[in-house]
Amino acid sequence: MPNRPWRPARPVWAHRQLHLTPPAPDSAVKPAEKQSVAQPAGRHVDPPTLEIVLYPSPALRRMAQPIPAVTDLVRQVAARMVELMHAAPGVGLAGPQVGLDWRIFVANPTGQPADDRVYINPVLTGPSREQDDEEEGCLSLPGIRGEIRRPRQITIEATDLDGRRFTATSDDLEARVWQHECDHLDGVLIIDRMPRVDRMANRQALRQLEDQAS
């Protein structure tokens, strides 16, 4: 993975709005059902059946919603996401990548099971001025890679699986993973952040993914 400025040359926010789709309506779900599953989208979620969704799935462009409470369902989803991340293998996986508009991601920069981490309702603060360019890939964009500039150091605040809020700061790969995964929660993909030359280089691979989906 890799680095570009915290504020990319391209107007990412404007770009993001072009692709943003509203959160899935949950009006069809009765309040009692919503409570029983305690999850933002109000859809039925069966954790063992979750799979990684690929570009250009609309799920990857939705703005994920805060998780109201850390329930058993949330813990089961997190466990499934960790399983999928290791199987891929990858260093991080976000809710939208398994088709859920939940603000959750899992990460493990080392691949060692002891380093599995779950971040619920994460918020990034205090990005360093210093930035790095590094190559990044994405489990939802197989075969696509590009240089992304990101702040070298950043702080994350999130809730863990026990419902406790925690804070951590990193200036290595972990910091980059946090930023990549938080982008997913806002519907932003590496193809939005990579330089034009990298987007051009990946044009064929992107078209292939689009063709496979249609």
To the nearest whole angstrom, how small is the minimum distance from the Cβ of residue 36 to Zn ion? 31
| Ordered DSSP codes for 77-94 | HHHHHHHHHHHTT-SEEE
Of 63, 103, 110, 67, nearest in space to 85 by CA: 110
> Considering the complex, what minimum distance in angstroms separates the CB of residue 173 from Zn ion?
14
Q: Smaller CB distance to Zn ion: residue 2 or 42?
A: 2
Considering only residues 119 through 138, tell me which ones interact with Zn ion, judged by CB under 5 A: 138
Active site residue 210: no
Which residues, 177 to 206, sit near Zn ion by CB under 5 A? none
60 near Zn ion (CB under 5 A): no
CB of 139 to Zn ion, least distance (A): 6
Residue written as tokens 């990193």? 170
Nearer to Zn ion, 95 or 127 (CB): 95
∠ CA 144-122-160, rounded to 5°? 110
Looking at residue 6, what DSSP letter applies? S
Asked whether 170 and 76 are in contact (CB, 8 A), the reply is no
Nearest CB to Zn ion, comparing residues 53 and 120: 53
Catalytic positions, please?
181
Residues in contact with Zn ion by CB under 5 A are 138
